[in-house]
Every structure is written in C-alpha cells, then in structure tokens.
C-alpha cells in the first residue's frame, strides 16, 4: 500500500510537469508564429478586406449634405447668420454669396450654382447667401437637391424697419448696398416677395420673424453635426390669421402717401386658402409687406382670386404598424418597394408618408431605404405632422389622404382611423357608407369627400382612401398569427390598391399653377365630355369662379355685371391696367376644351359683353388696346373670357409664365375660338408646356429680353406696331369696336341663320 501511494504521487508530479512544458512550448510557438513574416496571400487578404470594412463604416456614418437657401431682403442678416453658424458648427459649411463669388467681386447666378454644386458633390453643406425672394430665384438652387442632398430654406422675414436701419448704418458692404438710397431698392425687391413652401421641393423651412427667432435658428444649425439630421416640415410659420406687417415705405413716412394709406380698411389681412398658398380676397398676398396697402388700393371692387394649386399629393400613414402590430422592418421594405414600383406611373404627383413624431422609427427606416434606392425625394418624402391638419398646421397641401381603416369602415378604435373620421365629420361617414359597408384586408376604397366636410373646406382634401392591411394583433379580427409570408403579400396588395386609387384621382384631376396668368406644370388632357361620363375633380380653392357664376347674387361686391348668360368681374391679379373676366353661367362648361358647337351663342354673348366693356375703357383712356381670349388650359373651374389691355402695366405680372400665357399661342383669341368651333366642332388646345418655356419676347416688336424687369422696361417705351397677324380678324380691339371685323360679321350671320336659333345677347 505504501509503495502504491509513492507510485501515484510520482505519476501525478510527472503529469503536471508535462502539462507545464506543453503550455510553455505552445506559447513560444504562438510568439514565434506571430513574429514570422506572413506569406503574400495573407498580406493581400489583409489589404483588401480592411479598407473595405473601413469604407463601409465611413459611408454609414456619413450624414447628408444640406443646401440651406437663405431667403430675406438686404439687411435681414443673411451673411451674419452664415458666419455665426460656420463659426461654431462641427459640420463643414461653405457660404455661396453672389456679392463675392467672382474672386471677391459681384458675380452671377450661374457662378453660384456651379460653386454650390461642386461643394455638395464633395460632401460639404452650403449656405446660398442670396435674397431668393421669389420662387423663380430659388428653383435652380432647389434643383441641386436629391436623394443625397437635403434642401432647407431659412426665411429671415424680419420687420422692414429693422432691415432699413441696418442698411442705412452699414458701411463697406460687399454688395455695395448701403446708405439712405438703399431703402428704395429694398422696397422694390420686397414688392415681389413670395415666401417659400414645401411644395417647391424643400424638406424643411424655418421662418424667423424677429431676432429671437434668428438666434434660435443659429443655435439649431450650429448644433447639427456631420452625422445629424433635422426634422422635416415648416417651423415658426406665421399664424395665417395674423395681419401682414407694414411695408418699408410706411416706415419711410412719405407725406404724400399718408392720407391714402390711412383710408385703407382695417380688415386688410392675410388669408390662406386650402391649397397651400396665400390667396388675396381683400388683402395682400403672403409675405409682401409693402404690398399690403398697395394691392388693396389698386384692387377694383369686383375681383376674384385665381391663385396657385399644388400638384396632386397623397398623404398616407404607415398601414398596419400601429394597432395591427406589423413588423416595422418588413413594413418599411414593403412601403419602399411599392413606392419604387409606382414612381414611373406618378407623373408629377407626389406620395408623402406621414407620422406624428420625429422619433418615428418607421419614418427613419423608410427614409434610409428610399435614399439607398435613390428614389426621387421630390415625388416621395416623409413628413412629420397630424395627417388631419397637414395644411393648416404644416403648410403642406394634400388633396388626398389615406386612412388606416378597420374592416367595418366605422369610426373609433383610436389612432389614425378615429382621427380622420373625427376630422371629416358626419359627411365623411355618410359618404363612406354610400360606397361600402365593409372592407377586406389588402383592399382600398376611394371616397370623394363632400364639400360640407371640414377636411374639404379647411384642408383642401378632396378624397379619403380607406385602406385595410394585415393584422398581427391577436386582440383584433383576422389575426395572421405572425404569418409574415401571407402578411407581406396582404400589405403589398394594400399599398398597390391605395396607390392605384390615388392615380385614378390624379389622372382626372386638373392641376393648376399659381395665378390667373399661369398654366399647367405638367401634361394635362382635358377630353371630358359635358355629358358627365367623366368628371374632373376641382380643389375647393379652384371653384370660386364657378360659385360666383352659379350664384352671382351672393357675391355683389365682386360682380360688376350679371345676366342670364354671363357674369363680369375684375381679375384680382390683373396683368394690365384693365383686366376683366367674363364668366359663362352654364353648368358643365368648365374649360375651353368643353366648348362645342351648341355653345356658340353663349360664346358670342361673352364676346359681345367683352367688347362693350372695351368701349367703356377706351372711352376713358383712348390709348388702350385690348385682346379678348381664353387660356388653352384655365387655372380655375368655369369657362371665362379674359378681356385684357395690351399695356401689361401691372405689378402682378412677375413671372415668365404670366407673360407667356397672354402673349403666346397659349392665349386663344375669342374670334379664332368661335371660328374653329363653328367649322370643326371644338377649339384647338395648345401645348402649354412648350409655350410656357419660350423666351421672353416683346408682344409688339418681338425683341427678346432676359428677364421680366428688362421686358417691362422695354414695353413701356416700345413704339413698334403690333404684329400683322394680330391686326387681322379683329384680334386687336382699338377705339372703333362697334363695327366688328368682316369675319366676325359673317360668323354672326351664320349663327343667326342656324337652325338652333338666334344667339343670346347680353
């Protein structure tokens, strides 16, 4: 037994010794192997993998460059804003200033665009330090944006008094705009000011109304690091019920203007319509300080707005991810995939994914995946806000909104469904019941919204599309028990149905631009027959002329003349010294494309009424010359004849589209329209896109001009005769209007002899 214990002890010691030696040898081997040179294959592997990993990480960490377009009059503090942000920001900013772009000297807009594009391409963020006071000045810089660049606007809409005092005091300004004379320059610039809107292509707009707002904006942009982003939407927007600030000329206190200004009614306030723009009823347009008084002084007693309409836009929530508890990652894949699929079918329409909070995970996921697929951020973007108050609270006009409905299509249940039914009121519930009583998962139901609904009158929503997606919540009906194969298919079907429903609306809805002198921004086919087999949907803000034509007795302040056939009123944005609208009073005659041979007596009546008003105006001012005609594609519902003097002396004529809509073939002379309808049965509708892009040319001598100010300066002194084609067939109406042209007299004779009876006179 003793020998056995000694033997076991010796064996144990031997094993420990062997284990220790083995460990020492292994460590020595590892050290030697680490110090030994690697073969070429191993070295090559390290060289190829390592940088790739680094690049991937860098790409993930890289934030989007920002193109921040500053909007403000001289003296509003744009350059100071840039300097203050750049001084404290960790993000790399470049200031692009037209006053210094040419080697420290004043340069051109193309130079600014080139510099900004180069900086953005290098991953730098840029400040566009120009006045950018109207949409036309901003559009080229907005176009610098895309999936990889966010476009912001910072609006320094400070009181005129403050801007003037700064300009008067400053010296050595890089743009040489300083001293007392600069005040008049600033005043002229502010008369054409248009505040930016999200519909122009901005992802974020910050409004600064005072120095406190400016300081807050400086802090916001200074805090944005290289990897940070800012929430999208409008911030600091002025209350639409607030009064417009006094103009600069008020501050200068010109004695000879005081009495006139004091006589202006106190109710001159800014009013916004439900289509994402400021309308003038008895007030000035948004953001035109010095025009608040002047517009009202120039406005005739009978006038009506023909303002801008936004492009067709669908706002939709994320379907099934809230109460139905669908996986966010999978839902975001479906959303982006379906949006990408429908991009080519959208035309100029837009899709907007909406959620209430900037912390929304679904918005973040969709934004990132849409950027990866390089989806056009102007036609699909995300928005933070209440889907029931996108216009009134967010400044975004969406004519169609989607509702994440329940299968019974009834209010309640909380969330988006309850909110939309509540906002739509009883009218929405009744309209939904007329269409259907229930909905199957994966389907959508388009419901035209009655005009009595608050969503229609306040937000400009014309349709609600109810959508039912898949349910993963066991407490709700039709739960799929986490069957995501079937769930994804149902969700794809739901979004397909939603987008198809929206396209059916967008393809029949007239899209119009900003004013009575403008045209469609994209292709439009107005082939609807008056029989009603097809109907066009008109936004609430586009029905003002129709409402007046149908019930002129309710609009005594606007109406200058009314009969059984026509109503006459002033254009609220006259493009000349005298600019009237003669409205047809027949239902179903919305546009020139609707006019047929049976309407010739009415068109004759409209023409004769226009001639009678021309006689009146020429009797008051013998220098006036007129044209009477129609826009090929009108900007508001209800056929209306323009009676416009050819001086084009108006502060409302501000853009190329205004000019070209009255001086190119887009403007169809009334005598030609009547002749075509008499001979062919309908009028020719001209290609508005091509005509609106034509260069600016004098309507008399046909000389070309680079911009509207130069053109207006020229036409005020142009003595050339009108082109020969305008002097034929009575297209131009000078002092002698009673006899009419030979062609016109022949047409009258034909109509009087026609079997359908005599033309109805005014």
Would you place residue 177 in the very low, low, confident or very high pLDDT band (cuts 50, 70, 90)? low
* CA 589 from centre of chain: 28
The C-alpha atoms of residue 747 and residue 283 are separated, in whole angstroms, by 43
Cβ proximity of 79 and 131 under 8 Å: no
Out of 247, 263, 296, pick the residue that ends a domain: 247
Cβ proximity of 666 and 632 under 8 Å: yes
* CA 150 from centre of chain: 16
Tokens representing 213 are 């707002």
The C-alpha atoms of residue 705 and residue 275 are separated, in whole angstroms, by 33
pLDDT of residue 21: 53
Same domain, 500 and 547: no
| Better-scored residue on pLDDT, 729 or 27 | 729
Out of 448, 480, 506, pick the residue that ends a domain: 506
Q: Identify the residue whose tokens are 């929304």.
A: 360
Is pLDDT at 523 greater than 80 in this prediction?
A: no
Pair type for strands 271-273 and 150-156? unpaired
Q: Identify the residue whose tokens are 């429908």.
A: 342
The C-alpha atoms of residue 553 and residue 582 are separated, in whole angstroms, by 16
Cβ proximity of 51 and 187 under 8 Å: no
pLDDT average, residue stretch 50-65: 53
Q: Which of 599, 640, 658, 699 is catalytic?
A: 640
Torsion sign (Cα): 242, 247, 248, 251: negative
Ramachandran angles phi, psi of 567, nearest 5°:
-130, 140
pLDDT average, residue stretch 241-259: 39
pLDDT of residue 489: 94
| Residue among 263, 287, 264, 270 at smallest CA distance from 160 | 287
pLDDT in tens, 563-595: 988 999 999 889 999 999 999 998 889 899 989
Q: How far apart are the first and last CA of the chain?
A: 139
- Structural domain that includes position 317: 313-506
Same domain, 607 and 728: yes
Helix (H, G, I), strand (E, B) or coil at 405: coil
Is pLDDT at 43 greater than 60 in this prediction?
A: no
Cβ proximity of 663 and 718 under 8 Å: no
| Better-scored residue on pLDDT, 658 or 264 | 658
Out of 247, 269, 294, pick the residue that ends a domain: 247
pLDDT in tens, 289-322: 333 323 222 333 333 333 334 589 999 999 988 8
Of the given ranges (262-266, 269-273, 422-426, 652-656), which has the lowest mean pLDDT? 262-266
Same domain, 549 and 494: no
Of the given ranges (230-234, 413-417, 523-527), which has the lowest mean pLDDT? 523-527
pLDDT of residue 87: 93
pLDDT in tens, 6-23: 556 655 555 555 555 555
Same domain, 572 and 496: no
Q: What is the CATH number of the domain that holds 203?
A: 3.40.50.300
pLDDT average, residue stretch 601-629: 93
The C-alpha atoms of residue 489 and residue 477 are separated, in whole angstroms, by 18
Q: Is residue 253 in a domain? A: no
pLDDT of residue 217: 94
Tokens representing 502 are 């929206």
Would you place residue 430 in the very low, low, confident or very high pLDDT band (cuts 50, 70, 90)? very high
pLDDT average, residue stretch 518-539: 39
The C-alpha atoms of residue 623 and residue 620 are separated, in whole angstroms, by 9
| Residue among 256, 289, 278, 107 at smallest CA distance from 189 | 289
The C-alpha atoms of residue 49 and residue 51 are separated, in whole angstroms, by 6
pLDDT average, residue stretch 396-417: 87
pLDDT average, residue stretch 424-433: 92
User: For this structure, is 705 an active site residue?
Assistant: no
pLDDT of residue 126: 96
Q: Is residue 513 in a domain? A: no
Same domain, 580 and 647: yes
- Give me the number of domains the chain comprises: 3
Same domain, 453 and 496: yes
Would you place residue 692 in the very low, low, confident or very high pLDDT band (cuts 50, 70, 90)? confident
Q: Is residue 467 in a domain? A: yes
Q: Is residue 397 in a domain? A: yes
What average pLDDT does the chain have?
77
pLDDT of residue 357: 83
Same domain, 206 and 351: no
Of the given ranges (56-60, 193-197, 302-306, 463-467), which has the lowest mean pLDDT? 302-306
Helices marked H in 507-644:
544-550, 600-620
pLDDT of residue 19: 53
pLDDT of residue 287: 34
Is pLDDT at 132 greater than 50 in this prediction?
A: yes
Compute the 3-state secondary structure of the chain and give helix, strand, coil in percent, each to the nearest 5: 40, 15, 45
Same domain, 702 and 617: yes
Same domain, 473 and 586: no
pLDDT in tens, 261-277: 333 333 333 333 444 43
- Which H helix or E strand runs over 67? strand 66-71
- Largest distance between two CA atoms of the chain: 148
Q: Is residue 574 in a domain? A: yes
pLDDT of residue 382: 92
Buried b (16+ CB within 10 A) or exposed e, 639-666: bbbbbbbbbbebbbbbbbbbbbbbbbbb
pLDDT average, residue stretch 67-71: 96
Q: Is residue 279 in a domain? A: no
Cβ proximity of 449 and 424 under 8 Å: yes
pLDDT average, residue stretch 634-648: 93
Q: How much of the chain exceeds pLDDT 90, in percent?
A: 43
Question: Which range, 182-186, 262-266, 400-404, 455-459, has the best average confidence (pLDDT)?
Answer: 400-404
pLDDT average, residue stretch 22-49: 45
Would you place residue 616 in the very low, low, confident or very high pLDDT band (cuts 50, 70, 90)? very high
Question: Which range, 221-230, 278-287, 383-392, 461-470, has the best average confidence (pLDDT)?
Answer: 461-470
**Hey, what's the torsion of the CAs at 393, 397, 398, 404, to 10 degrees?**
0
Pair type for strands 93-97 and 125-129? parallel
Is pLDDT at 364 greater than 80 in this prediction?
A: yes
* CA 270 from centre of chain: 19
Q: Is residue 528 in a domain? A: no
Q: Is residue 330 in a domain? A: yes
Same domain, 233 and 370: no
Of the given ranges (103-107, 209-213, 494-498), which has the lowest mean pLDDT? 103-107
Q: What is the CATH number of the domain that holds 744?
A: 3.30.428.10
pLDDT of residue 26: 52
Same domain, 463 and 562: no
pLDDT in tens, 443-494: 999 999 988 899 988 888 999 999 999 999 888 888 998 899 999 999 999 9
Q: What is the CATH number of the domain that holds 484?
A: 3.40.220
Same domain, 467 and 547: no
Question: Which range, 307-311, 393-397, 601-605, has the best average confidence (pLDDT)?
Answer: 601-605
């Amino acid at each position: 037994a003793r020998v056995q214990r000694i033997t076991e002890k010796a064996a144990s010691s031997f094993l420990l010794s062997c284990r220790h030696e083995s460990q020492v040898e292994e460590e020595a081997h590892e050290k030697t192997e680490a110090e030994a040179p690697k073969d070429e294959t191993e070295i090559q592997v390290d060289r190829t993998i390592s940088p790739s990993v680094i690049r991937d990480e860098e790409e993930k960490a890289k934030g989007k460059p920002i193109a921040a377009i500053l909007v403000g009059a001289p003296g509003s503090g744009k350059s100071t804003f840039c300097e203050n942000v750049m001084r404290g920001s960790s993000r790399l900013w470049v200031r692009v200033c037209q006053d210094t772009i040419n080697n420290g000297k004043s340069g051109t807009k193309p130079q600014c665009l080139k510099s900004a594009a180069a900086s953005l391409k290098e991953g730098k963020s840029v400040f566009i330090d120009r006045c950018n006071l109207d949409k036309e000045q901003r559009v080229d810089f907005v176009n610098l944006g895309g999936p990889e660049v966010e476009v912001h606007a910072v609006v320094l809409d400070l009181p005129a008094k403050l801007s003037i005092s700064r300009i008067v005091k400053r010296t050595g300004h890089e743009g040489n705009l300083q001293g007392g004379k600069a005040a008049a320059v600033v005043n002229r610039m502010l008369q054409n000011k248009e505040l930016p809107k999200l519909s122009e292509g901005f992802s974020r707009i910050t409004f600064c109304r005072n120095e406190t707002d400016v300081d807050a904006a400086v802090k916001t942009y200074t805090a944005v690091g290289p990897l940070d982003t800012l929430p999208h939407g409008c911030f600091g927007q002025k209350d639409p019920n607030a009064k417009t600030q006094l103009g600069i000329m008020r501050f200068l206190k010109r004695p000879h203007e005081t009495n006139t200004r004091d006589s202006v009614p106190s109710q001159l306030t800014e009013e916004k319509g439900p289509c994402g723009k400021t309308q003038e009823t008895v007030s000035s347009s948004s953001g035109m300080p010095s025009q608040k008084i002047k517009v009202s002084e120039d406005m005739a007693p009978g006038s009506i707005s023909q303002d801008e309409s936004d492009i067709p836009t669908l706002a939709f929530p994320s379907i099934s991810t809230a109460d139905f508890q669908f996986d966010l990652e999978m839902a975001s894949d479906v959303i982006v995939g379906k949006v990408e699929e429908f991009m080519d079918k959208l035309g100029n329409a837009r899709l907007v994914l909406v959620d209430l909070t900037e912390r929304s995970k679904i918005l973040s996921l969709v934004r990132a995946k849409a950027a990866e697929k390089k989806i056009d951020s102007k036609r699909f973007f995300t928005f933070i806000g209440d889907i029931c108050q996108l216009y009134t609270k967010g400044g975004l006009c969406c004519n169609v909104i989607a509702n994440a409905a329940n299968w019974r299509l009834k209010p309640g249940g909380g969330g988006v469904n309850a909110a939309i039914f509540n906002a739509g009121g009883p009218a929405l519930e009744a309209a939904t019941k007329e269409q259907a009583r229930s909905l199957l998962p994966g389907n959508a139901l388009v419901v035209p919204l009655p005009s009595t609904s608050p969503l229609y009158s306040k937000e400009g929503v014309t349709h609600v599309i109810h959508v039912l997606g898949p349910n993963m919540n066991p407490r709700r009906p039709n739960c799929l028990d986490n069957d995501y194969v079937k769930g994804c298919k149902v969700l794809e079907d739901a979004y397909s149905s939603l987008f198809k429903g929206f396209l059916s609306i967008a393809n029949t809805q007239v899209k119009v631009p900003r004013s009575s002198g403008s045209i469609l921004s994209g292709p439009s086919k107005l082939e609807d027959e008056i029989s009603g087999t097809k109907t066009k949907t008109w936004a609430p803000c586009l029905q003002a002329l129709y409402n007046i034509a149908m019930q002129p007795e309710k609009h005594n302040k606007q109406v200058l003349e009314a009969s059984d056939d026509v109503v006459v009123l002033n254009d609220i944005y006259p493009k000349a010294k005298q600019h009237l609208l003669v409205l047809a009073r027949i239902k179903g005659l919305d546009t020139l494309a609707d006019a047929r041979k049976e309407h010739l007596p009415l068109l004759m009546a409209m023409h004769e009424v226009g001639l009678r008003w021309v006689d009146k105006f020429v009797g008051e001012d013998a220098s006036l010359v007129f044209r009477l005609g129609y826009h090929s594609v009108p900007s508001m519902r209800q056929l209306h004849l323009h009676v416009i003097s050819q001086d084009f002396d108006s502060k409302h004529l501000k853009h190329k589209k205004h000019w070209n809509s009255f001086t190119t073939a887009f403007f169809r002379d009334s005598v030609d329209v009547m002749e075509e309808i008499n001979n062919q049965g309908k009028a020719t509708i001209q290609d508005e896109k091509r005509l609106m892009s034509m260069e600016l040319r004098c309507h008399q001598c046909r000389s070309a001009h680079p911009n509207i100010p130069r053109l207006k300066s020229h036409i005020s002194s142009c003595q050339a005769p009108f082109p020969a084609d305008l002097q034929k067939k009575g297209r131009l109406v000078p002092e002698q209007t009673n006899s009419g042209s030979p062609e016109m007299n022949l047409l009258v004779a034909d109509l009087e002899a026609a079997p359908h009876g005599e033309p109805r006179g005014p």
